[in-house]
Amino acid sequence: MQSVDYTTLIAAALEIERTWIPARIEQVYQRDRYTLSLALRTLKRRGWLTVCWHPEAARICLSDPPPRTPDTFTFSDQLRHQLKGLALIASKSIAPWERVIDLQFARRPGEEPLWHLYVEIMGKYSNVILTDGDRQIVTVAHQVSSTQSSVRPVQTGQPYHFPPPIVGTLPKLEESFARWQERVSLIPGGLKRQLLNSYRGLSPSVAVEIIQAAGLTPEQSTEDLSVSDWQALFKYWQEWLKILETGNFKPGWPKKGYTVLGWNITTTANSVQKLLNCYYTQEFNRQIFKQLHHQLMQKVNNLLKKMQQKADIFRQRLEQSKEAEAYRQKADLLMAYLQQWQPGLQSITLSDFETGKPIKIKLNPEKNAIQNAQSLYKNHQKLKRAKDVVKPLLQEVQSEIDYIEQVKASLSQLETDYSSEDLDALEEIRDELIQQNYLSSNLPDRTKVDSDSKPHRYKTPSGFELWIGRNNRQNDRLTFRTAGDYDLWFHTQEIPGSHLLLRLEPGAIPEEKDLQFSADLAAYYSQARQSEQVPVVYTEPKNVYKPKGAKPGMAIYKQERVIWGRPQLAKQYLHSI
């Protein structure tokens, strides 16, 4: 994850200063242990300023409104008490090359600040500190005791001290080309490493941007640069410093990460605020997605393992119940040949009534023949009853296995790539497992999913739309609510997978290539996606039913036709778009 450096921080603070100050503080809300939201209102608009001191994603920018969940943090409660109703009158860096923004608050614009909120964007040492007008610390997001840092403790009631000054050479616009080149090339080495070793205040991401804008590579040695290479590098070095001096930032998206310098970008951004909000929202959601996906997949695998063990036990009992008739037969033989029994026998061999074959019967020597026969009759009745009891239990467990395998298939489809729709679909799977009592409700939550997630949508060769469910909730919605009378429904035959709808207008007739395309994708979005060929059924939606009491995503069908899907061809198609 790309960190907010000095260049980006100045760009964000300057944009806030230009477009959002002065503003009234209407609310203070803490989203989580690292993120604070301040509701700002100007004469023209209202927005939420995010102040984050996360070790990997510390930042300050305008962002989306926070979730409507209770705020139980003490830090935000203290800030709310002091800042609510005041005016935000300034957003300034405390000193050149320091990654600390001073947010100043007063009763009204033009007055002296009553409070300072120092936002320190320093990687794992990031912090947010509220002081009064005399820079006395009132509250702090993360207190640092003298035992944790002898250089700069940060605690309530103490004076606020700025971070220690930067040691080393700072970039200067007035520095000559010859002096700059001499400093960077003094010790031969990789270009990126030499720039970072020669100057403080320069971040790795900006160093790479300067190097790439000059047409060079970060690993390129300073010994291999020509005069023109040095001149091109110095040109962009000075351009970076001029942008910092003039504030003429150009936010946008390069191939990787983000930039506020306008170089090497593929897409421009409307503002630094939207750039940072979009990037960090997506990166945090990506982390949440990976964490939640891992937890759900682990839970589902554990459930399947336990259910398979339970099913194996029931199958063993059913196998044992097949011996019920053998116990009855032995008991009948023993009763018919009571005269052959003798005291103390541990076994007796008698001829079968029908075949005449000898059958060996184990006996309890402490019991007589009638008592042994009665014991055999009891075993017969016990196994017969077990068969009647175990069979429905096995069917119930098998139904649960089929359902969990369907959930696992949905999870497997979501692990190859990530998008906001994938996260919504994943959270729906989590909510479904909670509703079905397979999962506790104490897993980390991003926000409440307010609307239904969207299915995959593709175009068939003839231009028809093909909709594919991402999870059981979508599968049920597609099959039993969305499907029209003229659509076609696809699903892998007796294999867990997604429900597919080929959307057709009245009178439209899909060609063979459309059916094959749909079957290929049905096979790919199933548990059998690694196979070469997979049987796929398709029928009209009116022929698809949900059994009474069936779990989400489960359905039965009739009047189906079978077509062989080719998941590997579907994989090639999906990778090409």
**Model pLDDT for residues 166-217, shown as the tens digit of each residue:** 788 899 999 999 999 999 998 889 999 999 999 998 999 999 999 999 999 9
Which one-letter DSSP state was computed for residue 478?
A: I
CATH, domain 177-269, list 1.10.8, 2.40.10, 2.40.50, 3.30.200? 1.10.8
pLDDT bucket at 73, cuts 50 / 70 / 90: very high
Q: How far is CA 213 from the centre of its chain?
A: 34
- Separation of alpha carbons 347 and 334, rounded Å: 11
Task: State yes or no: pLDDT of 67 exceeds 80.
Answer: yes
For residue 449, the model assigns a pLDDT of 44
Burial label for 73, CB within 10 Å (0-12, 13-18, 19+), is middle
User: Is the Cβ–Cβ distance between 94 and 162 less than 8 Å?
Assistant: yes
Q: In what order do the strands lie in the sheet with 46-52?
A: 59-63, 46-52, 35-41, 23-32, 87-93, 100-106, 115-120, 127-132, 137-140
CATH 2.30.310.10 domain residues, the chain: 6-140
- Residues of the chain above pLDDT 90, percent: 63
Which one-letter DSSP state was computed for residue 2?
A: P
**Model pLDDT for residues 84-130, shown as the tens digit of each residue:** 999 999 999 998 899 999 999 999 998 999 999 999 999 889 999 99
For residue 334, the model assigns a pLDDT of 84
Structure tokens at 572: 């090639």
Contacts of 338 (CB under 8 A, 6+ apart): 369, 370
Give, in order, the Cα–Cα distances in Å from 137 to each of 85, 122, 129, 153, 318: 20, 19, 7, 11, 73
For residue 379, the model assigns a pLDDT of 81
pLDDT bucket at 418, cuts 50 / 70 / 90: low
Identify the residue with better confidence: 380 or 513.
513
Q: How many residues does the chain have?
A: 577
CATH 1.10.8 domain residues, the chain: 177-269
Mean pLDDT of the chain: 90
User: Is the Cβ–Cβ distance between 233 and 216 less than 8 Å?
Assistant: yes
**If we measure between CA atoms, which residue out of 447, 498, 437 comes closest to residue 468?**
498
Do the bridges between strand 456-459 and strand 358-362 make them parallel or antiparallel, or are there none, so unpaired?
unpaired
CATH, domain 6-140, list 3.40.50.460, 3.40.50.300, 2.60.120.310, 2.30.310.10? 2.30.310.10
For residue 442, the model assigns a pLDDT of 61
For residue 451, the model assigns a pLDDT of 57
User: Is the Cβ–Cβ distance between 16 and 47 less than 8 Å?
Assistant: no
For residue 210, the model assigns a pLDDT of 94
pTM (whole model) above 0.95:
no
Q: Residue 561: helix, strand or coil by DSSP?
A: strand
**Model pLDDT for residues 291-316, shown as the tens digit of each residue:** 899 999 999 999 999 999 999 988 88
- Separation of alpha carbons 311 and 391, rounded Å: 10
- Separation of alpha carbons 16 and 11, rounded Å: 9
Torsion-angle region of 559 (φ positive above 0: left; ψ -120 to 50: alpha; else: beta): left
Q: What is the CATH number of domain 295-451?
A: 1.10.287
- Residues of the chain above pLDDT 70, percent: 97
CATH 1.10.287 domain residues, the chain: 295-451
pLDDT bucket at 448, cuts 50 / 70 / 90: very low
Task: State yes or no: pLDDT of 76 exceeds 90.
Answer: yes
